[in-house]
Amino acid sequence: MRYGHFDDERREYVITRPDTPLPWINYLGNEAYFGIISNTAGGYSFYRDARLRRLTRYRYNNAPLDLGGRYVYLRDDESGEYWSPSWQPTQRELDDYSCRHGLGYSIIGSTYKGIRGETLYFVPLAENLEVWRIRVTNARTTPARISLFDSIEFCLWEALEDNTNFQRNYSTGQVEVEDGVIYHKTEYRERRDHFAFFACSAPLAGFDTQREDFLGPYRGWDRPIVVERGAATDSVAHGWQPMGSHHVKLELAPGETKEVIVLLGYQENPKDDKFDPPGSQTINKKRVKPVIARYLQPAVVERVFTDLRDYWTGLLGILQVHTGSEHVDRMVNIWNAYQCMVTFNMSRSASGFESGIGRGMGFRDSNQDLLGFVHMVPARARERILDIAATQLPTGGAYHQYQPLTKRGNNDVGGGFNDDPAWLVLGVAAYLKETGDASILEEPVPYDNQPGTETPLYEHLRRSIQYTLDRLGPHGLPLIGRADWNDCLNLNCFSETPGESFQTTENKEGGVAESVFIGGLFVLAANEMAAVAERRGDAAEAALAADAAAAMTKAVETAGWDGDWFRRAYDYFGRVVGSKECAEGQIFIEPQGMCIVAGIGLENGMAEKALASVRERLATPHGIVLNNPAFTYYHLELGEISTYPQGYKENAGIFCHTNPWVMIAEAMADHPEAALDYYMRINPSVREEISEVHRCEPYVYAQMIAGKDAPTHGEAKNSWLSGTAAWNFVAISQWILGIRAEHDGLRIDPVLPADWGGFKVSRWFRGAKYEITVHKSTGVTGRVARLTVGGREISGNLVPLPTGPDESFDVEAFVG
């Protein structure tokens, strides 16, 4: 069952009924001012940091789930009837409804008794405000008198404090209202230099800034007393819950449309120029007033909205594929690329499942996200790499997270996740291959943000590799530390205290427990390092890394091999994890994927066996589960993984982040059918038709789909902010379609099923444009046998680097 459809032409998903199984959200903002918005206008906004600069209030895990947002109410002043064009919060049954989630904007609208209300929400590029462009149309044959109310609830800036410290909060709220603009200035008198504004383009009939006056005692957002009566109270908030609402009266002739622009924004003032007149306690508005005046003009709004659309056309234009499969094309060309940009902006901070209060930027997460967006925003990827590397420790180890505002390592979460350093090597390698910008390796970067400790970035990579070599266990495999990619495989933790964090507790000497997964990851990273070192003329490091990769491959093929698949780990007691010998958790997906991605077992039959075992033991119609059998008991020695009920999250859930590793492995092992089949199983666009089962948005990946052991097999959770976005993008575009940036050129190496024909790709790479046609007849399999660039035949399948700027090339590749 579907709740809408894709509009690929406009790059939108169109939701046609409001009662989606979960709120289906979208993101507003590109640089500093952001918001999340659901299909019924729920959500909130923040400046840079969803915890420390929260503009509007939102209560997670509410009933209904999604309550609080950017609500508009319309009231028919003849009949007194009122409703919300976004359905929520009044839930009036509407004559029609649609929500168009686009790239960086949403348009939500409906018709009720001949009155159409539609709002476009977006954040103009490089501005710290959001625009609501509201259009009200009278489709009746008689004139209409309509009252319009907008509304938001201000958050008292620090989202955690806002949710918890009521003895203080109920007394601190303050606003100013001037010329119909509502200014939220809680704590501005003292240590804050920022305030929020809520402005409206139309003359006001009134306003409200005190929630209780707007809603009325004991009432909710579904029936505000002010809307019911059709009259604002001009309330001025003192303490309690400051909010903003403007009341506008519209007279509409038959067929007439009127437009009202509403702005919600964030503004900072210099510390010594906060007040006007100086010495008063009144906000100095001289900087913000011109901004407000500018964006209240319809022509400006129209123009900056076009700019936003052009911005996305530019970013997405870097890679466009035309395969004939709508599921592949719309994900690669639109939604998966968009999701990668959202993970770049948000990391794991704010979504329907991440409260904006919890996690900072993951060291591992941020490096992996980079794989999905480096081709679109290489300059910002460069900056991101340098930020991440600056939090690295002198040992080569890493804080597991760092804070976006301070860019410093987060002590509360600490380090010791022994896979972290290897991801830095992979992130940097991806950047180098995409851009060829070797200068990044020479950038001086400190350790632990300590001035004076700078070394070239290259040395950080060297230490990343050395970090693993300094921490090998009894089988020559990497010690796991607190955990590896699987944050819930906590082999040195042994937690018996309720509420204790599995991620930060390491109460056993960590000298025995080893990870086969890190073994595979290390081989991949060390080989990348060898290539980087060689190009830099550092033969010694190149040899060291290559030798280390070879030795690790051996260790994985011996101690890491279980006969039919790769083992997962050795625990604190040196007992094997992920083996036939185990009662539960005999086989895990991560090492099957990662070891083969690193090239292990491709020559000696291990990869074939491991992939067959995945198919037999782990694959389901909804994707590949993480482990099998699921853990049914709490295993003190394994940690959080065994705390989840069977089939959820790391305990045998379909952890979508890991599935693309298997897709890539299948492609590398020359199994195109299997690779694409796994891709289609978790592809959100394919799953659109089972939206009642999948339940999350059909346009983006979710972190997890419930596995075969769960009662809700096939149900997705934790959409949007996951390494799933980057890795699926890599799997389909670089390994199945096979268009891969490399140090020396653009590889054209598709691995396609027999029933596929050829396809076309346009790709900007190192400043040149490549129009690529892959010729393939259905029925044919195999790799590229012949390649021409600009009509000239080239041996192999690597398109050489361009020699000058602005070149463009026609590339023809023939499969079979």
Site for ligand BGC in 344-363 (CB under 6 A): 359
In the complex, least distance from residue 358 CB atom to ligand BGC, rounded to whole angstroms: 7
Separation CA 281–CA 646 (nearest Å)? 58
For residue 660, the partner it binds in ligand NOJ, ligand BGC, none, with Cβ less than 5 to 8 A by kind, is: none
Nearer to ligand BGC, 650 or 715 (CB): 650
First-to-last CA distance in the chain? Answer: 39
Report in angstroms how near the CB of residue 721 gets to ligand NOJ at its nearest. 8
Q: Considering beta carbons, is residue 417 or 735 the nearer one to ligand BGC?
A: 417
For ligand BGC, the binding residue among 487, 506, 514, 562 (CB under 6 A) is 487
Q: Going along 231-282, which residue ranges are E strands?
A: 242-252, 257-268
Does the protein bind ligand NOJ through residue 344 (CB under 6 A)?
no
Pick the binder of ligand NOJ from 89, 104, 244, 362 (CB under 6 A): 362
The Cα 528–Cα 440 span in angstroms is 16
| Residues in 479-498 that interact with ligand NOJ by CB under 6 A | 485-488
Comparing CB distances to ligand NOJ, the nearer of 151 and 724 is 724
* Contact present, 339 and 725 (Cβ < 8 Å): yes
Nearest distance in Å: CB 502, ligand NOJ:
10
Q: Give me the phi and psi of 543, to 5 degrees please.
A: -70, -45
Among 70, 649, 671, 708, binds ligand BGC (CB under 6 A): 649
429 binds ligand NOJ (CB under 6 A): no
Active site residue 487: yes
CA 344, 347, 353, 356 torsion: positive or negative?
negative
Q: How far is the CB of 361 from ligand NOJ (least distance, A)?
A: 10
Query: Interface with ligand NOJ includes 348 (CB under 6 A)?
Result: yes
**428 counts as binding ligand BGC under rule CB under 6 A:** no
Q: Which residue is at the shortest CB distance from ligand NOJ?
A: 487
Is 525 a binding residue for ligand NOJ by CB under 6 A? The answer is: no
Answer for the pair 729, 430: CB distance below 8 angstroms, yes or no: no
Q: CA-CA distance, 606 to 601, in Å (whole number)?
A: 5
Q: Which is nearer to ligand NOJ, 377 or 488 (CB)?
A: 488
Between 207 and 353, CB nearer to ligand BGC: 353
Residues 587-626 as x/- pattern, contact with ligand BGC by CB under 6 A: ----------------------------------------
| Number of residues forming the site for ligand NOJ (CB under 6 A) | 10
What CA–CA distances, in Å, run from 165 to 45, 159, 160, 456, 667? 20, 10, 8, 45, 54
Position 726 contacts ligand NOJ (CB under 6 A): no
Q: Which does 763 bind (CB under 5 to 8 A by kind): ligand NOJ, ligand BGC, none?
A: none
Q: What residues have CB less than 8 Å from 760, skipping those under 6 apart?
A: 321, 322, 771, 772, 773, 774
Query: Is the Cβ–Cβ distance between 503 and 487 less than 8 Å?
Result: yes
Spatial CB neighbours of 155, under 8 Å, sequence gap ≥ 6: 44, 54, 55, 56, 57, 58, 162
* Cross-strand partners of 472: 478
Task: Select 573 or 634, whichever has its Cβ closest to ligand BGC.
Answer: 634
Question: What's phi and psi for 528, nearest 5 deg?
Answer: -60, -45
Helix (H) or strand (E) holding 520: helix 516-535
**Binder to ligand NOJ among 51, 53, 364, 375 (CB under 6 A)?**
364
Q: What φ, ψ does residue 387 adopt, rounded to 5°?
A: -60, -45
Determine the Cα–Cα distance for residues 784 and 775; give it in Å rounded to an integer.
Answer: 9
Q: Which of residues 580-619 bind ligand NOJ (CB under 6 A)?
A: none
Sign of the four-CA dihedral 501, 504, 507, 513: positive
**Residue 365 binds ligand NOJ (CB under 6 A):** yes
Q: Which of 487, 562, 571, 749 is catalytic?
A: 487
Q: Of 491-510, which residues contact ligand BGC (CB under 6 A)? A: 503
- Binding interface with ligand BGC (CB under 6 A): 359, 487-488, 503, 640, 649-650
- Give the active site residues: 487
